[in-house]
Amino acid sequence: MFTHPVLVRWSDIDSYDHVNNVRYFDYLQEARIAFLSQVMETTGDFFAQYPCVLVSQTVDYLRPILLRHPPYDVDVWIASVGTSSYTLGSRIVDRSGESDDVYAKAESVLVAVDGTTHAKRTLGNDERAALLQHVASS
């Protein structure tokens, strides 16, 4: 499992003094891109080398995220790999206390596309092999 720290920014806070639900998607995206760049061992633009699009994302909000300085962790893992798509699991976790408090759980489905035509494509052999090496359960 991959973990990416995210700091809450003042601009993320809504009128209820907690992170606006839309910002959860930003945190998940930051972690997803960092994770996939590591999995595919890219040194430049991940999407230029392995074009893909997010086609579905669901989030279960379990508790409000508050403004504070230690970062929250976003854990990411590959849940499954198909012919042209793969599913990532993720969760936003607070590890600053005695236990791991989960604030949100998410599932994201990405589909590989051709970088020029944007048509769906089959995962390449190297791409598929790298993804399969990182399949894990939550």
Using the predicted structure, report yes or no on whether residue 39 has a pLDDT greater than 80.
yes
Instruction: Report whether 33 contacts 46 (CB < 8 A).
Output: yes
What pLDDT, in 10s, does the model give residues 91-133? 999 998 888 999 999 999 999 999 999 999 999 999 999 999 9
% of the chain at pLDDT higher than 90: 82
pLDDT averaged over the chain?
93
Average the pLDDT over each of 4-8, 29-33, 45-49, 51-55 and give the range with the smallest value: 45-49
User: What pLDDT, on the 0 to 100 scale, is given for residue 32?
Assistant: 95
Statement: residue 50 has pLDDT above 90: no
- Residue tagged 């020029």 (tokens): 116
pLDDT at 137: 66
Is pLDDT above 80 for 90?
A: yes
d(CA 134, CA 65): 28
Give the chain as a DSSP string.
-EEEEEPPPGGGB-TTSSB-HHHHHHHHHHHHHHHHHHHTT-SS-HHHHS-EEEEEEEEEE-S-----SSPEEEEEEEEEE-SSEEEEEEEEEE-SSSS-EEEEEEEEEEEEB-TTT--B-PPPHHHHHHHHTTB---
Length of the chain: 138
What integer pLDDT is reported at residue 118 of this predicted model?
A: 92
List beta partners, residue 53. 111
User: What local confidence, expressed as pLDDT, does residue 10 receive?
Assistant: 93
- Please report the pLDDT score of residue 86 as a whole number: 97
